[in-house]
Amino acid sequence: MSAATEAQPGRAGPRLSASIKRAALPWLILAVVYALCVIASADFLTWHTIRLQLIQAAFIGLVAIGETLAILIGHIDLSIPWTITLTGMFATNLYAAHPHEWVAFGAAIGIGVAVGLVNMLGVYVLRVNSLIWTLSINLMLQGITLIYTNAAAPTTVVPPAAKFLALGMVGDIPMAAVLWAVCAIIVIGALRFTPFGRAVYALGSNELVALLSGVRLARTYAAVFITSGVMAALVGLLLSGYSSQAYLGMGDDYLLPPVAAVVIGGSRLAGGEGGYGGSIAGAMTVILLEAMLITLNVSQGEREIVFGAILLALAFLFLGRRRR
């Protein structure tokens, strides 16, 4: 009830405190979920367990960078799963044949950029609904991966750099988390302090106004979808490093969890409002929820049901708050 009154548009004062509240909510949710985890199992208090969850959250968090940008401009990217798998399969195979680090990373970046450009072509140039377009591209990437793996056997040879980024430690802190932190700082800075960030919010708020104001839309669309593609490709490489091999379906868990992370993070699905800060908490929340259900010995099927229901509930919590 009080939330509704505070959400009334007014002078800068109350509005500002409302936006602080909104920024704090994802972290509050994270705290609650973590507390539930601890109740479920005291293991969650050990650094060892936290560290493992942090690595998982980093993978979600890294792809959530692209997803956050896509959602901020009022779109969505659902081509992440098979960008991950294709990159994992292709880059490791290429590395097995040509054992240089730069070959694997070059291939990954190449795939990421290509997927991003194709998505930008469909969503910006051809004006296809991004949900439909990126989901179709995801299917086509799956097809490409299957055709490719018919010709090439998977390999367990993975680039050491990928292994290090996924499993390495800096002191007591996982390398993946460090990488995530660095990327997060860059994205948050880019959204706040650069012309690109302004263009993203402008585009997400009202594309027609952005167009009439001379905002470089093509450039912004390209930057957003290419970032998303490259982050997905990078995570594909990290995941192969994490399990010391690439395998079909390795990206399957990355279709909706990144979207969930962004929504829990408080960004508006219609675009124009939110930011990456909340998505960080969102990514951790998603991973902890999953881990908690596993700890409680919930079977795979039931886990998915509970997980879906919780995500829906969280989405309602946020959407409901904003509808006013």
Partner 1 sequence: MPDAVLRAEGLTKRYGGITALEDVSLSLAAGEVLALLGANGAGKSTLVKMLSGNVTPDSGSIAIGGAERHLTSPRVAFEAGVATVHQELSLFGSLTVAQNILIGREALGRLGHIKEETSLRRATALLAEIGVPDIAADARLGTLSLAQRQLVEIAKAISFDPRVLILDEPTSALGLTDVHRLLSVVRGLRAKGRAIIFISHRMEEIETIADSVTILRSGRKVGAFPRQSFTRDRALELMLGETQQQLHAVPPPPPAVQTTPPILQVADLRLDGRLNGVSFDLRPGEVLGLAGLEGQGQKDMLFALFGLFRRGLRGDVIIRGQARRASRPLQAIAAGLAFIPDDRKNMGGFMFLPIAHNIAVTILDRLRRFLFLNARRETAIVAELIQRLAIKCASADAPLGSLSGGNQQKVIAAKWLAFERDIYLFCDPTRGVDAGARETIYATIRDLAAAGKGIILYSTDMVEFPILCSRVLVFRGGKIAGSVSGAEVSEESILALSFQDTGAVAA
Give the residues lining the site for partner 1 (CB under 8 A): 9-13, 15-16, 193-195, 197-199, 201-202, 205-206, 208-216, 272-273
Residue 129 or residue 213: which is nearer to partner 1 going by CB?
Answer: 213
Residue 195 or residue 249: which is nearer to partner 1 going by CB?
Answer: 195
Residue 12 or residue 147: which is nearer to partner 1 going by CB?
Answer: 12
CB atoms within 10 A of CB 164: 14
Residue 270 or residue 305: which is nearer to partner 1 going by CB?
Answer: 270
Paired with 169 in beta bridges are: 174
Work out how close the CB of 217 gets to partner 1 at its nearest, in angstroms, rounded to a whole number: 8
Residue 198 or residue 303: which is nearer to partner 1 going by CB?
Answer: 198
Work out how close the CB of 268 gets to partner 1 at its nearest, in angstroms, rounded to a whole number: 9
Residue 156 or residue 194: which is nearer to partner 1 going by CB?
Answer: 194
Work out how close the CB of 218 gets to partner 1 at its nearest, in angstroms, rounded to a whole number: 9
Terminal-residue alpha carbon distance, the chain = 10
Q: Are 82 and 145 in contact (CB under 8 A)?
A: yes
- DSSP H helical ranges for the chain: 2-6, 12-40, 47-72, 80-97, 101-120, 130-151, 160-167, 175-193, 195-205, 207-212, 217-243, 257-264, 276-295, 300-323
Work out how close the CB of 235 gets to partner 1 at its nearest, in angstroms, rounded to a whole number: 25
How wide is the angle at C-alpha 147 spanned by C-alphas 142 and 151, nearest 5°? 140
Residue 151 or residue 208: which is nearer to partner 1 going by CB?
Answer: 208
CA distance 172 to 245: 25
Q: Are 238 and 177 in contact (CB under 8 A)?
A: no
Work out how close the CB of 296 gets to partner 1 at its nearest, in angstroms, rounded to a whole number: 40
Work out how close the CB of 213 gets to partner 1 at its nearest, in angstroms, rounded to a whole number: 5
- Residue 14 structure tokens: 């109350």
Q: Of 244, 246, 234, 225, whose CA–CA distance to 106 is shortest?
A: 234
Q: Are 285 and 264 in contact (CB under 8 A)?
A: yes
Work out how close the CB of 9 gets to partner 1 at its nearest, in angstroms, rounded to a whole number: 5
Rg value, the chain, Cα: 20
Residue 9 or residue 171: which is nearer to partner 1 going by CB?
Answer: 9
- Residue 238 structure tokens: 């990290």
Work out how close the CB of 194 gets to partner 1 at its nearest, in angstroms, rounded to a whole number: 6
- Residue 45 structure tokens: 């208090």
Work out how close the CB of 287 gets to partner 1 at its nearest, in angstroms, rounded to a whole number: 31
Single-letter code of the amino acid located at 303: R
Quick one: DSSP state of residue 283? H
Residue 214 or residue 301: which is nearer to partner 1 going by CB?
Answer: 214
Paired with 170 in beta bridges are: 173
